[in-house]
């Protein structure tokens, strides 16, 4: 299946907020993060210019991914798939595409909540934990870039 990426807009904000709440619900409960705080954090940090909707070939939105490019690195954020599309290899296909697109970057990083069920997924691509605090782990993939 072919997936496309469409830059989000402020009109997508309610959908993205709800998707985040649905996908990360277990993490929020496990870490005892109050719903109001979680929603406010999303509100305060929403930047549509760096979030892309993931659409299937029928142009249904099935998830999103945040991408912040720097000169030698890229930060991936907010990679969420609708629960109905999880466990089918779609996330792996989309993530492989993203990694391939940024193969010229020396470092690709992302953050997950401690205890996230997504950790083995990222580790399967070679990401390692480089920092950790009481709630969040930073994972990085270091790439050898030929010039």
- Predicted confidence at residue 145, as pLDDT, reads 62
- The domain segmentation of the chain, as residue ranges, is 4-142
Q: Measured between alpha carbons, how far is 79 from 68 in angstroms, rounded to an integer?
A: 12
Looking at the domain 4-142, which fold is it?
A: Aminopeptidase (3.40.630)
pLDDT digits (tens, 9 = 90+) for 111-143: 999 999 999 999 999 999 999 999 999 999 998
Half-sphere exposure for 45 (CA within 13 Å, toward CB)? 12
Pairing of strands 107-113, 73-81: parallel
Decide: 12 and 59 in contact? Cβ < 8 Å. Answer: no
> What is the per-residue pLDDT across 12-54, written as a single tens digit (0 to 9) for each?
999 999 999 999 999 999 999 998 999 999 999 999 999 999 9
Q: pTM to 2 decimals?
A: 0.90
- The bridge status of strand 107-113 relative to strand 51-55 is unpaired
Q: What is the pLDDT of residues 94-109, one digit of tens each?
A: 999 999 999 999 999 9
> Measured between alpha carbons, how far is 123 from 120 in angstroms, rounded to an integer?
5
- Tell me the pLDDT band of 2, cut-offs 50, 70 and 90: confident
């Amino acid at each position: 299946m072919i997936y496309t990426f469409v830059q989000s807009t402020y009109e997508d904000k309610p959908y993205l907020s709800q998707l985040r709440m649905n996908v990360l619900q277990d993490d929020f409960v496990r870490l005892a993060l109050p719903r109001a705080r979680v929603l406010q954090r999303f509100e305060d940090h929403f930047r549509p210019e760096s979030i892309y909707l993931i659409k299937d070939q029928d142009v249904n939105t099935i998830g999103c991914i945040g991408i912040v490019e720097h000169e030698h690195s890229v930060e991936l954020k907010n990679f969420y798939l609708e629960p109905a599309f999880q466990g089918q290899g779609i996330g792996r296909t989309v993530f492989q595409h993203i990694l391939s697109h940024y193969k010229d970057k020396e470092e690709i990083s992302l953050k997950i909540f401690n205890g996230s069920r997504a950790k083995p997924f990222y580790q399967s691509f070679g990401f390692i934990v480089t920092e950790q605090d009481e709630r969040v782990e930073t994972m990085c993939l270091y790439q050898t870039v030929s010039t």
